[in-house]
Structure 1
């Protein structure tokens, strides 16, 4: 009898013989899922009867590989051999114990790259909420090899082994699957990123969403990560719209259970909440969280997930058009560990999508939730292609100053690449003071430094309005620094905006 027929027979008779709920896969495995492709090895685990033997078999594409392990403390775990991208496969789990045989099969399984998508509400926004939503939803059926999964919003005071609930089990994309209502079912940024990645890489992509609106980075961080930034675990760390967020509660319930999974990388869209909470620590807490996730996923997967897996993030967009607060500019800067660009020496193997030129005052979801998620996902995908996949010649960072020279009443800025420049009188600003005591802060006077001349990669500013010495220079240092795709400095092809920066005179 063929192996599949044998498995079918066991599946048919198992319920009749009283077997069932004890033996199963962990919560986030299921039909239609994507497992991490070669050269990494996917990890499978679940629950069973102590001392029973569990055999995992991968069937399909002329591949038939098996691994047998013993259940210990009601947990079984298998690391598969490397599998090349493609499918579909059947992954069968068979438990043999003193009570008999039980079988669970996963069908229509693909092998590809698994990406984790985390953050708060701008990551949680669904595809029905973005610009041109109906067109985007109609395209979903064209990408059956991009599969989606969403963890339900849950929190815990203790680190959990498995997810408490699932919002969306592994699914083949369709308009109905992706459109679960506002801020639910599946992330637009995550979906579009995966779709663009599939178009580029041509192999299956698995997308795992685990995010929650209105949450600070501290809730997504382990205690050990926060301790590196001098943060203990207070009873209530953050109040938001009646909710009280303890540190680590989302790490415990929505990240820690995923650690056994082998993943390719992660993308992240969060930070708005930290403009109000521990803003000054974000240059420590965010990099520390990345480091800690990398270590934990590497250990949890038995060394299969890279200890420096690629991590992409979205630099904050805009909120209040007339705001004079430095909260958003400061947080954007802190998102880069105060380097202004990524990757950088503190945040290696990262990539950043600048989004401050995508402000959306007319968004039905409030201006803090811009609808132009296609641009965000495209910029993230460029970073992934360059950093995660090593594609040569892919521009992904945008222009950033390589040298800044003060010459009389002019400042010469040499950028890292050729630039497309629209002259502006207000987006560059200088702080003028002869004091050596760092007088340039949020309450200081900042004077416009108009753009007076440009060349291929040089921008020249005038400091005529400065009555004293130039002590500091900053660019796009506003909550809402420019109009839609209308900042002064872009890459030569006008695709990537220059990131904001601030530089001060050495004391």
Structure 2
């Protein structure tokens, strides 16, 4: 699987950056055609010049702005602009007594960072209906693209080591190798918001969350620092090279598609490492941007799709659960201001890029976009979460599952399972998980088929879609009635406090 996950590392031609501070320049994450974060935030500009050099910054308008910075002892200068409303184009000029550097065709809008491993890196040229999607590139000139090159480092880098795609207006050519999920998410957002969107792709196939995390996260979650046999997967190596250099970039939010590598590596600590990484990124971006990136910026993620059909291994359902900090949904008490796109109902058995790389990225991006509209943009009338149980009522005859929203239910493959055990014995030590079919349902409840536990046991556990590949394409049993969003997987045990209420049968 590792070879398949590293498939995309050989596809990107990197533009290497000469790290010379002897001349005036912007940092490598800036360029013509870029998007800077709009008001109410103050966009930050920074770069290099000889120590002590005074830099005069100007923004052509209207409105026009001017500011001054001085290169410090490390040859770096930085300045924050006054807030600028969405729009453009602008020119941004940095000038010293003998040098001038100008960025042209600069827009102001919302900047989103797209991170993760190969399913986030999966290029637009490989998705379903790719040719039609690539033809649309010219219709969205205000959705701008930037791609960080595949690099790694044992130490934190101030500037990017290399750039794979400098800031660009989308074309069929450059979009063909750009992240499909990132592009589609940005395109859908732009159609909703009607102003510029900047997309920064920073992802690397086959990598675990530890590689994207600072030493602070590793320490918090009790993860050992290791170099590993493949450097990009080493702890903090991608944080150092592909995230840390972006911290001064003022961003609106981030989306994330990763976890496959952690299904078989430090899986049981992902419920700590992933939420801790989100918290740490938020803190680091906020501090490095002078407080202009929000310290709780919205963070969306994709709950993993599928890998192996008919597999009895529980690594995928367990990592999906840990992606939510074991709550089963997002946002939650541990992962505030997050949103999740459930993808377990989008398998691609015939994918030529291995089943771990499904080609339907349109639905993934659309579900992320719904979450962003609700969580990041506070649209109150947008449903972005599928149904989740509020209460479970077991009896000797049936099990009633009460959901938090109206349902659309179909009788498909059995995806509910119960556990019979002696109370209060944990189902984790029981092999008594058995499938139970749906008996009937109404607007908000699913009634499972009559259940008969041994005389000395009772129903003590219920789980849903707790398999690597729980259903065929868009054919899981439970969806939301209003938005056809799939119900996420869950596991609940009667004598454990997991957020779902177990109540006695009132009949």
> What is the TM-score when the length of structure 1 is the normalising length?
0.91
Q: CA deviation at 1:435?
A: 4.2
Aligned residue number for residue 276 of structure 1: 264
Q: CA deviation at 1:69?
A: 1.4
Per-residue CA distance 1:132-166 (angstroms, 9 max, x = gap) = 00000001110000000000000000000000000
Choose which of 110, 123, 127 in structure 1 pairs with 2:124.
127
Is the contact between residue 59 and residue 89 of structure 1 (CA under 8 Å) also seen in structure 2?
Answer: yes
Aligned residue number for residue 495 of structure 1: 484
Choose which of 228, 232, 238 in structure 2 pairs with 1:250.
238
Looking at structure 2, the residues matched to 65 and 243 of structure 1 have their Cα atoms a distance apart, in angstroms, of: 44
Q: CA deviation at 1:406?
A: 1.5
Looking at structure 2, the residues matched to 103 and 361 of structure 1 have their Cα atoms a distance apart, in angstroms, of: 55
Looking at structure 2, the residues matched to 31 and 463 of structure 1 have their Cα atoms a distance apart, in angstroms, of: 65
Looking at structure 2, the residues matched to 66 and 490 of structure 1 have their Cα atoms a distance apart, in angstroms, of: 53
Shift of the 388–71 alpha-carbon distance from structure 1 to 2, 3 Å rule, reads: same
Tell me, which stretches of 5 or more residues in structure 2 are unaligned? 1-19, 497-507
Q: CA deviation at 1:408?
A: 3.3
Aligned residue number for residue 204 of structure 2: 212
Aligned to 1:370, what secondary structure does the other structure show?
Answer: coil
Which range moves more in the overlay, 457-466 or 69-78?
457-466
Q: CA deviation at 1:440?
A: 3.0
Per-residue CA distance 1:400-442 (angstroms, 9 max, x = gap) = 011111133211111111010012462100011114231435x
Aligned residue number for residue 191 of structure 2: 199
Shift of the 261–494 alpha-carbon distance from structure 1 to 2, 3 Å rule, reads: closer
Aligned residue number for residue 88 of structure 1: 89
Looking at structure 1, the residues matched to 381 and 356 of structure 2 have their Cα atoms a distance apart, in angstroms, of: 33
Looking at structure 2, the residues matched to 235 and 312 of structure 1 have their Cα atoms a distance apart, in angstroms, of: 29
> Aligned pair 1:429/2:417, yes or no?
yes
Tell me, which stretches of 5 or more residues in structure 1 are unaligned? 1-18, 181-185
Is the contact between residue 26 and residue 48 of structure 2 (CA under 8 Å) also seen in structure 1?
Answer: yes
Per-residue CA distance 1:326-345 (angstroms, 9 max, x = gap) = 00000000000000000000
Q: CA deviation at 1:243?
A: 5.9
Pairing of 1:25-104 with structure 2 (within 5 A) = 25-60=26-61, 62-73=62-73, 74-96=75-97, 101-104=98-101
Looking at structure 1, the residues matched to 103 and 413 of structure 2 have their Cα atoms a distance apart, in angstroms, of: 61
Aligned to 1:63, what secondary structure does the other structure show?
Answer: coil
Alignment RMSD (CA, Å): 1.4
Looking at structure 1, the residues matched to 377 and 200 of structure 2 have their Cα atoms a distance apart, in angstroms, of: 19
Aligned residue number for residue 24 of structure 1: 25
Aligned to 2:428, what secondary structure does the other structure show?
Answer: coil
> What is the TM-score when the length of structure 2 is the normalising length?
0.91
Aligned to 1:91, what secondary structure does the other structure show?
Answer: strand
Aligned to 2:85, what secondary structure does the other structure show?
Answer: coil
Looking at structure 2, the residues matched to 322 and 463 of structure 1 have their Cα atoms a distance apart, in angstroms, of: 26
Aligned residue number for residue 405 of structure 1: 393
Looking at structure 1, the residues matched to 83 and 355 of structure 2 have their Cα atoms a distance apart, in angstroms, of: 45
Which range moves more in the overlay, 444-453 or 304-313?
444-453
Q: CA deviation at 1:233?
A: 1.1
> Aligned pair 1:476/2:468, yes or no?
no
Aligned to 2:487, what secondary structure does the other structure show?
Answer: coil
Q: CA deviation at 1:463?
A: 4.1
> Aligned pair 1:451/2:438, yes or no?
yes
Choose which of 424, 439, 464 in structure 1 pairs with 2:451.
464
Aligned residue number for residue 4 of structure 1: none
Paired residues, number: 474
